[in-house]
Chains A and B, each alone.
Chain A
Amino acid sequence: MRRIYRKIEQIVGNVITVVAGEVSYGELATITTPEGSSLAQVIRLDGDRVSLQVLAGTKGISTNAEIRFLGHSMQTPFSKSLLGRIFTGSGEPRDKRPAITENLIDIGGPSVNPVKRVTPGNMIPTGIPMIDVFNTLVESQKLPIFSVAGEPYNSLLARIAMQAKVDIIILGGMGLKHDDYLFFRDVLEKNGALTRSILFIHTAADPTVECILVPDLCLAVAEQFALQGKRVLVLLTDMTNFADSIKEIANTMEQIPSNRGYPGDLYSQLACRYEKAAAFEGAGSITILAVTTMPGDDVTHPIPDNTGYITEGQFYLRNGRIEPFGSLSRLKQHVNNRTREDHRSIMDSMIQLYALYKESFEKQSMGFRISAWDKKLLRYGERFEHEMMDLNVNISLDQALDLGWYILADCFQPAETGITTKLIEKFWPDNTRMSIA
């Protein structure tokens, strides 16, 4: 059986077409040119015409380049020695250390049987009140961080990586600026967390197609660790680049676009990756936090929109803060009834009051007369923003809840908070002037 071909029929974008037989769908091939070699993946079969997407891009590929079919689909090595290592989007070492070839596993494997999933029940404490109190992160959750270019989403991700209590961190960078890559590497190294981390980094300078493989590589490795009982946190940044790469390939393949040029299967493509987040019965778990920068700060753009329907909530990062409106952790109900009895009430009433504050603030800005009630709200809103929303606040959940009560007691009468009498009697602080460090 001939597995090597030397005649490329067509090169369009990053997709090449060759005439070949006995090729299977999804198979890998290597393309060798005098300048070097690249991997390519079969994405369409039409009679004997085989279309492949070339991971390193088609620049400089000549029509007589050598194409060798490998007979298997994309794989990644998996072993403990991956820890502390940094790879590219095609799985090559980026840290100048030797390549790992042991124990190859397929990437993009089948999905988890829903009956083998466990209902998530463990909170992942992050020390950030806007997450711990208001939108608790839960093991096995998939959550995007919706943001816009210029916001400190990568620093937030790095802080969560440092503070979150998990066993292994896998960072997938897609279209990352080289500076950001160095930032992540240095932060993890400085805090001694690199030894429990694995990095798959595709930088903006690398070929676009490699970007598509980053989530699959990260999640395939994460899955193996999770099956061994580890609690794995996968951090992905930035999924918008991933989706754009998918769009690029789909358009090259002349697929009919559905919405703003994105292919109709964008939802399924994203879901395949995000759904890898799971808690396994009798084993570990995968939790995914993924940055999605919203083009033009528009949440109705197809990428954030489809993402929002897949993930279990979302964090909005705006003006350097996690916005309380819109941000949502869908799984928080599974855990916040077991933390402290006042958790839910503090969460609900503080947000409701903050919403009222926003109205009063608007009134004030428009020059309307401010009532006594408005004044209370304005005072509350400022304290809330300053003491709770600031991302630099690093306190435990208990401290954060206590702080919540102090702020409420400092600004309002008990009845004005809408909290049930039972909790007020138990938690309302006597000394309303107290403050905590």
Chain B
Amino acid sequence: MGCKCGSIESANCHCGRIVGINGNMLTVEFFDSVKQNEIAYAILDDIHLKAEVVRTRGRYADLQILEEPKGLKVGGHVDFTGELMAVELGPGLLTQIFDGLQNPLPGLAKQCGFFLKRGMYLDALSRDKEWEFTPAVKKGDTLSAGDTLGTVPEGIFVHRIMVPFSLKGRYSVERIATHGSYRVSEIIAELQDMKGFLIKVSMVQKWPVKIPLNCYHERLMPTDTLMTKIRMVDTFFPVARGGTFCIPGPFGAGKTVLQQMISKNAEVDIVVVAACGERAGEVAGTLREFPELIDPRTGKSLMERTVIICNTSSMPVAAREASIYTAVTLAEYYRQMGLHVLLLVDSTSRWAQALREVSGRLEEIPGDEAFPAYLESVIAAFYERAAIVKLRDGTVGSVTIGGTVSPAGGNFDEPVTQATLKVVGAFLGLSRERSNARRYPAIHPLESWSKYWSIIKSEDLKLAQKILKDGNDIAQMMKVVGEEGTSIDDFVMYLKSEYLDAVYMQQNAFHAVDGAVSAERQRYIFNKIVKTFGTKMAFHSKDEARTFFQILIQKTKDWNYMAMESDEFQKIEAELDKMIGEVAKNAQNIPEN
């Protein structure tokens, strides 16, 4: 007896037949059974196109095709795999550039040239490369999923080879490979379960991307500040290791530059960058730039700690949805090794739009702005995969997630921003006014917030925030009553807030010194500014006050550009002190008005 598809080899060949095509949605009549979210291949001559089951109704399954559907026909054959979408985990992920389905893009370029070719799927991890394996267990040890079998060096990291995460229960080691070089697919251990069943383990394992990897002992509270070396973030709106943050902003406000700054300077072990539905040129920039940049913490190239998942805007939409799950799964994998991982997603809105496209094609009842009703829970579930955890061996690892949001029309009231704000720990809202005025990073100082701990003492921070707020109020009032209607004290307060903005909040991302500021330097400069604000100042006229602050701003900016250990740094600091000293002396001669 053969299968309905015509195959005579098996009655159960797990396949189906296309009955409808609408954009990237296939309707397939299946003959046996299908699993929700299982992967299938639509077959077009000798090309196999990956698709994922998103709905079943009766004998029909709706599949979102992860490639361009051009050329498919009604009646075409579809093979179901019975497996959920999964990624390969093992040594060799770092420095790689994958597409949303974990195809290595350099490998594709080698085979297909300038253009991507649909239906080409390569192994994520090189099967030829040999890794130097050092066993960490011996025969007879009892282990469970996620425990270390041995290690291999991967660049600057010790990569743990672990008991496959999908194994349940306890296992005893029957055989473990000796120290030596192995390929990822070679068997390095044999484990026996309680019933005596033998399992062979290689250095590569698979994990379904949509299921969080939780082989840890417990989740901890995110308390340590993750240094980004951006003054405005670390001081005013800090991010914690294992926490979450979002960067919403209209186009042109500098989301991507801000994220690139963070990816370069963040004090973490590994950075996973997910370019999700954004510009390919930016990814290309990162690809060319990172290998050249030196990570000051390790002295090695930045690329050595980076994995890039890249599904740019012109690549198939359904694969865009998969890409951020691929990225977060890789991040979780390295967390299992006791490493601190930062995942940056640019942009979560494109991912939400991919959900919307699929939902629209399925003719689901649309919610706000036609996004599906489950948008919020999907976003929440994604951000909840960020965590700082204690592993079973006592080491601590973390995944921090930062996502940009691209709200339609720059309006933060839209569904994706709102759903994101509910679940993140820090909100770095970018403002078009600030970017128009070239005040970068254009993080809005009054609207943004963070629930994590700053590197600055909280009373000093409160003072600075008060000056910003008062300065802003005065600026608003001045628009109505004019400068002449403003008292000189108020005017000086306004100038102080402008000073803080110009020399501390604004930062030149492209300058070698100003682009990355250490915690030590941030505290030093901030203290200096607080001291300046504490100085009693008085001026004869508003013009005099303005000129004073203009010179002060310029000098402080010059100061920001000098390396902290340089002579110029001390020289300018002395000049600043002198200026402040003089104005304080003058203040005694000018009566309070």
Tell me whether A112 and B280 are in contact in the complex, defined as CB-CB below 8 angstroms, given that A25-B71, A45-B74, A421-B558 are known contacts.
Answer: yes
**Any chain B CB within 8 A of the CB of A403?**
no
**Any chain A CB within 8 A of the CB of B289?**
yes
Over the window 402-415 of chain B, the binary record of Cβ atoms lying under 8 Å from chain A Cβ atoms (1 yes, 0 no) is: 00001011110000
Report B-chain residues with C-beta under 8 Å of the C-beta of A22.
Answer: 73, 75
Tell me whether A310 and B370 are in contact in the complex, defined as CB-CB below 8 angstroms, given that A113-B115, A300-B411, A421-B558 are known contacts.
Answer: no
Report B-chain residues with C-beta under 8 Å of the C-beta of A330.
Answer: 252, 256
- Report whether B408 and A314 are in contact in the complex, using a CB–CB cutoff of 8 Å: no
Q: Which of A268, A366, A418 has the most CB of B within 10 A?
A: A268
Tell me whether A308 and B251 are in contact in the complex, defined as CB-CB below 8 angstroms, given that A119-B288, A119-B289 are known contacts.
Answer: yes
- Residue among B251, B310, B554 making CB contact with A114, cutoff 8 Å: B310
- Which parts of A315-340 form the interface with B (CB within 8 Å)? 325-326, 328, 330-331, 333-334, 337
Report A-chain residues with C-beta under 8 Å of the C-beta of B369.
Answer: 258-259
**Any chain B CB within 8 A of the CB of A348?**
yes
Over the window 103-119 of chain B, the binary record of Cβ atoms lying under 8 Å from chain A Cβ atoms (1 yes, 0 no) is: 00110110011111110
Report B-chain residues with C-beta under 8 Å of the C-beta of A267.
Answer: 277, 313, 350, 353
**Any chain A CB within 8 A of the CB of B360?**
yes
Complex Cα distance, B361 from A283, in Å, reads 39
Tell which of B20-28, B145-153, B217-225, B235-243 binds the partner: B20-28
Complex Cα distance, B479 from A223, in Å, reads 52
A420 nearest in chain B by CB position: B558
- Which parts of A273-318 form the interface with B (CB within 8 Å)? 274-278, 280-281, 283, 299-302, 305-306, 308-310, 312-314
- Residue among A118, A334, A348, A373 making CB contact with B438, cutoff 8 Å: A348
Report A-chain residues with C-beta under 8 Å of the C-beta of B252.
Answer: 308, 313-314, 326, 328, 330
- Residue among B72, B256, B554 making CB contact with A415, cutoff 8 Å: B554
Over the window 364-398 of chain B, the binary record of Cβ atoms lying under 8 Å from chain A Cβ atoms (1 yes, 0 no) is: 00100111000000000000000000000000000
- Report whether B314 and A275 are in contact in the complex, using a CB–CB cutoff of 8 Å: yes
- Report whether B22 and A309 are in contact in the complex, using a CB–CB cutoff of 8 Å: no
Tell me whether A312 and B279 are in contact in the complex, defined as CB-CB below 8 angstroms, given that A258-B370, A373-B543 are known contacts.
Answer: yes
Chain B: how many interface residues by the 8 Å CB criterion?
83
**Any chain B CB within 8 A of the CB of A255?**
yes
- Report whether A115 and B543 are in contact in the complex, using a CB–CB cutoff of 8 Å: no
**Any chain B CB within 8 A of the CB of A60?**
no
Tell me whether A112 and B115 are in contact in the complex, defined as CB-CB below 8 angstroms, given that A24-B72, A25-B21 are known contacts.
Answer: yes
- Which parts of B68-115 form the interface with A (CB within 8 Å)? 68-75, 97, 105-106, 108-109, 112-115
Chain A: how many interface residues by the 8 Å CB criterion?
86
Report A-chain residues with C-beta under 8 Å of the C-beta of B112.
Answer: 113
- Which parts of B538-593 form the interface with A (CB within 8 Å)? 542-543, 546-547, 550-551, 553-554, 557-558, 561
Complex Cα distance, B408 from A301, in Å, reads 9
- Report whether A26 and B357 are in contact in the complex, using a CB–CB cutoff of 8 Å: no
**Any chain A CB within 8 A of the CB of B534?**
no
Complex Cα distance, B322 from A171, in Å, reads 37
A307 nearest in chain B by CB position: B251
- Report whether A112 and B408 are in contact in the complex, using a CB–CB cutoff of 8 Å: no
- Report whether A369 and B484 are in contact in the complex, using a CB–CB cutoff of 8 Å: yes
Query: Measured between C-beta atoms, what is the minimum distance from A120 to chain B in Å?
Result: 7
Report A-chain residues with C-beta under 8 Å of the C-beta of B432.
Answer: 326
- Report whether A111 and B116 are in contact in the complex, using a CB–CB cutoff of 8 Å: yes
Complex Cα distance, B360 from A141, in Å, reads 32
A356 nearest in chain B by CB position: B437
**Any chain A CB within 8 A of the CB of B227?**
no
Query: Measured between C-beta atoms, what is the minimum distance from B499 to chain A in Å?
Result: 12
- Which parts of A18-59 form the interface with B (CB within 8 Å)? 21-27, 44-48
- Report whether A256 and B366 are in contact in the complex, using a CB–CB cutoff of 8 Å: yes
Report B-chain residues with C-beta under 8 Å of the C-beta of A344.
Answer: 510
Report B-chain residues with C-beta under 8 Å of the C-beta of A178.
Answer: none
- Report whether A263 and B20 are in contact in the complex, using a CB–CB cutoff of 8 Å: no
- Report whether A24 and B437 are in contact in the complex, using a CB–CB cutoff of 8 Å: no
- Report whether A44 and B22 are in contact in the complex, using a CB–CB cutoff of 8 Å: yes
Complex Cα distance, B391 from A434, in Å, reads 71
**Any chain A CB within 8 A of the CB of B482?**
yes
A362 nearest in chain B by CB position: B479
Report A-chain residues with C-beta under 8 Å of the C-beta of B22.
Answer: 44-46
Tell me whether A110 and B408 are in contact in the complex, defined as CB-CB below 8 angstroms, given that A264-B353, A275-B280, A355-B437 are known contacts.
Answer: no
- Residue among B115, B310, B484 making CB contact with A110, cutoff 8 Å: B115
Complex Cα distance, B550 from A280, in Å, reads 46
- Report whether B557 and A418 are in contact in the complex, using a CB–CB cutoff of 8 Å: yes
Report A-chain residues with C-beta under 8 Å of the C-beta of B115.
Answer: 109-113
Complex Cα distance, B21 from A45, in Å, reads 5
Report A-chain residues with C-beta under 8 Å of the C-beta of B27.
Answer: 46
- Report whether A371 and B317 are in contact in the complex, using a CB–CB cutoff of 8 Å: no
Tell me whether A416 and B550 are in contact in the complex, defined as CB-CB below 8 angstroms, given that A119-B284, A259-B408 are known contacts.
Answer: yes
Query: Measured between C-beta atoms, what is the minimum distance from A364 to chain B in Å?
Result: 10
Complex Cα distance, B115 from A368, in Å, reads 61
Tell me whether A418 and B284 are in contact in the complex, defined as CB-CB below 8 angstroms, given that A267-B313, A268-B317 are known contacts.
Answer: no
Query: Measured between C-beta atoms, what is the minimum distance from B307 to chain A in Å?
Result: 14
**Any chain A CB within 8 A of the CB of B285?**
yes
Complex Cα distance, B438 from A22, in Å, reads 58
Identify the 7 closest CB pairs spanning chains A and B, nearest first: A300-B409, A368-B482, A271-B313, A275-B314, A258-B370, A308-B251, A117-B284
Residues of B within 8 A of A (CB): 19-23, 27, 68-75, 97, 105-106, 108-109, 112-118, 250-252, 256, 277, 279-281, 283-285, 287-289, 310, 312-315, 317, 347, 350, 353, 356-357, 360-361, 363, 366, 369-371, 406, 408-411, 432, 436-438, 479, 482-484, 510, 542-543, 546-547, 550-551, 553-554, 557-558, 561
A-B contact pairs, 13 of them (CB 8 A): A45-B21, A45-B73, A46-B20, A47-B20, A117-B284, A264-B353, A268-B314, A278-B280, A300-B409, A313-B252, A326-B432, A352-B437, A362-B479
